[in-house]
Every structure is written in C-alpha cells, then in structure tokens.
Amino acid sequence: MTTTTTTATVTFQKLRSGAWGLRSTRALTPGASVEVSKRDGSRDTKTVGSLVWSGEGVYLYAIGGTSTRGSSRGSSCGSSRRGGRYECDECGDFVTRGTKCWETGMTH
C-alpha cells in the first residue's frame, strides 16, 4: 500500500490591510517556518503568523516575526488620537478603541 503526504502550497498574498501575508491550501501552525513560492519560481522561508481568514480550502496568515504596521504595545491596530475614532492600520475601517478588528481578531 502506498501512502502519499500532501504538503501545503504556500504563496504570498496581499492582505486587506495592505501588508503581505501567506496564502496556504492547508492549515498551518503559527510560529512554524514554511517555504513560500514566489511568482518567479524561487522560494523564500517565512515564519507563519496568526490566522487572518480561512474558507473554502484557503487559509490566509500574517507573516510572523515582522512588524508591518500598528502599535508596538501588543495591539495589531494603530493608536487612537485622544480616544476618538481612527483608521485601523490592519482592516482600514474607522473604529473606536476597544472594538474587535475583523481582519485580525485583535482589540483596537
């Protein structure tokens, strides 16, 4: 009997936030290193970040180990100016501090 192991196909994907992420055909483990195929056929190794979206056999992840935009205080979204509404760096919506980001699931 022959067993085959299907590996995930991982490519770069532009996320709604404008940042580059990883697109996979299989679920990945955040923190794992994966080889990513580029359009020119070359490969690059990246660290899997948090799951951004999944559906119909497609999984989108942030690229781990990099800070693309946002606050360095643990929130994925930019800081508010004096407590008012502001544009989230990740989802692009105008939000109020304390609400949940639909793009990352983190608190604004």
Supply the pLDDT for residue 105: 74
Task: Supply the pLDDT for residue 82.
Answer: 52
Write out the two tokens for 24: 């996979």
Q: What is the pTM of this model?
A: 0.57
Pair (22, 58) in one structural domain: yes
Please report whether residue 73 resides in a domain: yes
Q: Residue 22: which domain range?
A: 10-64
Q: 41 with 17, same domain?
A: yes
Looking at the structure, tell me whether residues 35 and 58 fall in a common domain: yes
- β-pairing, 43-55 with 58-64? antiparallel
Domain count, the chain: 2
Q: Which residues fall within 8 angstroms of residue 63, CB to CB, at 6 or more apart?
A: 19, 20, 21, 22, 46, 47, 48, 49
Q: 17 with 55, same domain? A: yes
Same domain, 52 and 73: no
Please give the chain's pLDDT, 108 residues, in tens. 444 445 789 999 998 888 899 999 999 999 999 999 999 999 999 999 999 999 999 999 999 875 444 433 344 444 434 556 767 776 667 777 777 777 677 776
Element (H, E) at 106: none
